[in-house]
Amino acid sequence: MSDVSIDRVDPARTGVVAGRVVGLLTGALAVVSLLSMRETFVGQLRVIVDLLGIGPTLFGVEAGAVLTIYFWLVTAGAVLARYALAYVLGSLIGVVYDWLDEPPAPVLVAGVLVVGLVDGAIQAIDTGNAVIGAAYVLAWLAYVPTFYWVHDPDAETEHDGHARRF
C-alpha cells in the first residue's frame, strides 16, 4: 500500500512540493523564452547545417523538419531541467529551513530571494532580457506562500514502521 500524502511536518518534503510549483512556473517561462527566439534558433542551426554541407535532408528527412524537431526536444529538455532544478533546490531550502529550526518568514523569503536573484540574473544574461530575469525571480518567490500553505509544523505524523513514499 502506497501513501501518496506528504509529511506536512517535514520541511524538506514541504520544500519539494513548493519546489515543484516553482519548477512548473520556471518551466513555463523557459518555453515562453524559447518560443520567443524560435526563428533565430532554427535559423542559426540552418546556417550551421548549410556550412557543414550536410545537404537538404538529414537522416532522410527534410532539414527544416529535423531542426524543428530538435528545437522541440531542446524545449522539452529545458522544461525537465527547470523542474528538476527547482525540485532539488526546493528540497534544499526546506532542509536549511529545518536546520535553522524554523526561522521567521523573512529569513525564508531572504533565502528564496537569493536563489531567485541568482537564477533570474543567469536567465536575464542568457536571454538578454531583464523582464524574463525578473519573471524568474517572481516565480521563485511563489515558493514562500506555497511552502507556508503546505507546511504545518503542528500536524500529526504517522509512523507505522514503514518508510513513507512521496
Q: Quote the mean pLDDT of the chain.
A: 85
Model confidence at 164, pLDDT cuts 50, 70, 90, reads very low
Model confidence at 137, pLDDT cuts 50, 70, 90, reads very high
Cβ atoms of residues 56 and 62 within 8 Å: yes
pLDDT of residue 57: 63
Which stretch of DSSP H or E encloses residue 124? helix 105-127
Q: What b/e sequence results for 78-98 when a residue is b if at least 16 CB atoms lie within 10 Å of its CB, and e otherwise?
A: bbeebbebbbebbbbbbebbb
Q: Which residue has the higher pLDDT, 61 or 116?
A: 116
Contacts of 69 (CB under 8 A, 6+ apart): none
Query: What pTM, to 2 d.p., does this model score?
Result: 0.79
Q: In whole angstroms, what is the distance from residue 67 CA to residue 85 CA?
A: 26
pLDDT of residue 148: 94
